[in-house]
Structures are given as structure tokens and as C-alpha cells.
Amino acid sequence: MMKYILLFIPFIQCLIVFGQEDYNNCSDAFELCPNTTFTLNNIDANATFCNNCEDDFNFCFSGENTIWMTLTTNDIGGDLNVNFTNIVFENNPGQGNGLQAAIIEATLPCISSSYTLISNCEANATAAFSLNAVGLPPNTTYYVIVNGTAGTSQNAESTFDLTLTGTGISRNPQISISTDETVVCKDENVIFQASTIDCDDQLIFNWYANGVLIGSTFDPDFEFKQLANNDVVTAEMVCFTQCKDTIISNSITFTVLDFLVDAGPDLYIQQGESIQLQGQTNEANILWSPFYNMNDPTLIKPIVNPNETTIYFLTVDNGTCSITDEVTVFVESQLEVPNTFTPNGDGINDNWEILGINNFPDCTIQVFSRWGQLVFQTTGYPFDKRWNGTSKSGKELATGSYYYVINLRDEQYDKPLKGTVTIIR
């Protein structure tokens, strides 16, 4: 026999009706920013009904069809005005024709038992009006509550403009930038400092030259060295995480001193060759660096013979500015590893000659048979160490292919050279 158990669960009556804009609910209160006009409405607004819920209040009006706005006082505190203008009511039959509004403090957000009225309470406004609160403390959050008066069958609904003013909410964030010199040399590193006033919750400094972003910093210091003559530098900052304000600094115009300094085009040579640099300038005081493997670093077109790819810097000083330009001389190795030789004693191609190997005196060379046996090994490869096709014991090796590994021990060659060489007799 099947048994049924009846379970009785007590409940608290609570009716939640959603509608209208998001700010129909206290938790989604509309954020009001100072000296900004917002167009809002309470059309189709409803209320949350339950004990100690957000709309369970009764000041000069009760919490029916309430909409919610929120604001936070500034760092100083003071008086507050919430101004309602351009009130336009709907005119449906049986509908009310007045707005009700107040400013409250909620020490426990959206919990009605913590509400305190801090302004005048408007019960039935039909035209423009203001809510006023005086002597408010700094950095404190308050709510503005608004609903419509009751008609014979429907509460009043309207659109309206709302503007927040007063010493307790006003703010005047400012940013200024400075630098030590506004007349600088080309490519000189310029250091900027930014300072702000009344700018809470600073986010990031954006730096601009002629309106083009050139950098962003979290710190108020910024360095830049690509300024051109007549460049105008400004900074921008966003203040406040709530009601963000974007502020723009003063501008600084630069005079950039410049004269001809050209180290010339990049050049290419084979290892062991020399070449003349093609520098240009109209000034007399010049110096090249690095000056090793260079005939005279004070000549505008010196001759260089670098052993490896080298960047040369041309620095010219005219007594006011020192400007530097650079050029790269690329050194290409002439290393050529032949894949065959003929050690047959005819005096022609009897040794395995590696062209350019003398430029790598610390190299190591290993040769292996196809079975992996080491048959030849040397450090350095001068003439008297050339491989002649014999084993380490001096035995003549058979015709065929052998595997080599050449480690040049040079920065330009980060990996060993590997391949095969064939003995032909």
C-alpha cells in the first residue's frame, strides 16, 4: 500500500514585480554624475513588496512604483541639489499627475530599516522642483528615490530631466605637465612630469604629440626622445572609477635643434676586406666609434676592415648639440666547404681544402665513417693539418662518403656545420 506524506512549508509573502528600466531596482540604481543632465522616467515602474525590502518605506510617500538613483559626495562634502525639470506626464484615464521624490541615506544598501531621510520630501510635484540636502559628509553614497502619485486607477508616470549640483558633489579635476627644457637637441631624451589635482582613482596617463598617442604610463613620469621641431605635447588622464572624467593637460611646444649627421648607408663586405664609410655632416667636430680596425675615427669617411658584422656610430658636436647616427657593416664569411676531394697523390686536390677556415683559428673539425667511427679530428685547420683522406692511424681510407661536423666557435655561427664529403681516388 502506497503511503503519502503531506509536507507543509510556511512561507513569507513576498511579491517581486519587474519592469521598466534597470533602475527600477535599488541594486541597479542609476549613477548620477555631477553637473550632468540625465533624462529618466518611471514609466511601468513597480515595487518589491516584503518586510524590510527595498520599497518598504514611508516618508512623505510610500514605496510604490519607485525608481532609484545613486550618487557619492566628493572628498570635501557639503550641500547637494537634485534638480527636476522638463517633467512630462502621461495622461491616461485614471492616472495620477504628480512626482514624489526624496534623498535618503542607506547604511545598509537597499535594506529599508537603514534608510534615513536627508532632504526635503516632495509629495506631489507637478512642475520643476529641487531636492536639497546640506552639510553632507565626504565620500558617502546616497540614493534618490522617485515615484508617481496615485490616481483613481493608476500611479503617475512621466519622463523628466535630472541634474545634480552643489558643493558636496562638484569636482574640478586638473592635470598639468612640465619638463626642464623646451629647446632640445634632436634625439635628446626628454623627461616629462605630470601632476593632478582633485583626480581620485587615477587610471592611466596617455601622452600625445600633435594629438597622436606616443605612450601610456601608470606613473606620472614619461620619457620620449623622438621629438621633432614644433611638436606639441599634451597628456590626458581619466579620473574616478565612478562618473569618469577625462581631463587634458596644458600643452608644451618644443624647438628641436638639428643639423646634418648621416653615417651613410649600410655596407657589405667579405671577411678580410676593407671598405670606406660614407658619413656626411657640415660640422667639423666628429668622432666615430668603435674605432678599432679603423684608420682614423676623426675622418668623416674613414676606412674600416672589421672581422665581423659591426655597427659604427658617427657622433657630431656643434657646440650646442651632439647628434649621433649609425651604420652597419655586414661581414659575410667566405667559408666554402667542398663536398669532394681526390687524394690520389697527383698533387691536385689531394687535401680537403676549406676556403676561409683560417678565419676561425679555434674551430674543431671531426670526420666520421658511415658507421659512425671517428676517422679524423683537429682543432684549428692550418695547412699542415689538412685532411688527406687517411685515418687517425695514417691508413688510407676507401673511396666513399664521410660525414663531417665543423664547429667554428664563432658568434655568427650558433650551430655546427654538418654535411658529407666524398673521397674519390
Mean pLDDT of 120-126: 95
- Tell me the β-bridge partners of 197: 174
Report the pLDDT value the prediction gives residue 404, as an integer from 0 to 100: 96
What single-letter amino acid sits at 370?
A: R
- Whether the pLDDT of residue 332 is over 80: the answer is no
Report the pLDDT value the prediction gives residue 355, as an integer from 0 to 100: 85
- Tell me the β-bridge partners of 294: 304
Mean pLDDT of 112-124: 96
Q: Of 80-89, 227-236, 411-420, which range is least confident? A: 411-420
Report the pLDDT value the prediction gives residue 307, as an integer from 0 to 100: 79
46-58 tens-digit pLDDT: 888 789 999 999 9
User: Predicted confidence band at 200 (pLDDT cuts at 50, 70, 90)?
Assistant: confident
**Proportion of the chain above pLDDT 90, given as a percent:** 77
The full set of domains in the chain, from first to last, is: 15-165 (2.60.120.380), 174-257 (2.60.40.10), 261-332 (2.60.40.10), 340-423 (2.60.40)
The rounded mean pLDDT for the chain is: 90
Report the pLDDT value the prediction gives residue 20, as an integer from 0 to 100: 63
